[in-house]
Amino acid sequence: MKKRLVLAGSALVSMLAFSGVASAGTYATYTVQSGDTMYKIALREGVSLAALEAANPQIADYNNIWVGEQINLPISPQEQKADAILATAQSLIGVPYQWGGDSPATGFDCSGFVQYVFGQNGISLPRESHDQATVGTFVPANQLRKGDLLFFTGTYPSNWPNGVTHVAIYLGNGDMIESSSARGGVGVIVVKNFWASPYYNAHYWGARRVIQ
């Protein structure tokens, strides 16, 4: 027999796990995890409880959802914007690194890449990473969302007051995309599970959210 979850139940908050896209960019399909409630899912995903319930008329009782049940997750305008930004970023994988570069034609340095990607999606950012770290809102490491900016310090000598010398874009699931000279000038690459890297952990400064 499947186990029921009651709204006032467990305090355990599970990590999001998408299992696919339900319908033409309107909904994603989410598999209910242990400890989930409709309220917790809505809060975590930045959508209203009313919108989440309206997207799931198949649920007879919104106060009770099954572990393993699949529900429709509304895609917020912010998430749609993040998806567009990540699509632009990933289309540039393989563009070589170039100090001071800010276009596919010249190659990219880290902040030139970020500025270009966001600019292509209607968001204007400063040119350099230490200035990019002053815009938007601070995001705790355990609340990162795709499209957030990740900042690192001390990746090369500098005297910027905040110490920020590198920026990347969070892809979700611990992954990020960056333009880096660290791998023989390869440039734009995806870094899998950057939290597992002693180097990135040692230099991590924080994250900012500019998609509002």
Q: Is 178 a catalytic residue?
A: yes
Query: Among the options 110, 128, 130, 203, which is catalytic?
Result: 110
Is 130 among the residues known to form the active site?
A: no
Picking from 115, 91, 118, 84, the residue whose alpha carbon sits closest to that of residue 102 is 115
Q: What is the sign, positive or negative, of the torsion defined by CA atoms of 137, 204, 120, 28? A: negative
Q: What is the DSSP string of 158-173?
A: ---TT-EEEEEEEEET
C-alpha span between 105 and 40 (Å, rounded)? 45
Give the 3-state secondary structure of residue 196. helix
AA identity, residue 184: G
HSE on the CB side for 176, CA within 13 Å?
24
Structure tokens at 170: 């969070």
- Please confirm, yes or no, whether 79 is among the known catalytic residues: no
Catalytic one of 45, 79, 130, 166: 166
DSSP category for residue 60: S
| CB-based contact 66:19 (threshold 8 Å) | no
Q: Check 45, 79, 130, 178 and give the catalytic one.
A: 178
Q: Which residues are catalytic?
A: 110, 166, 178
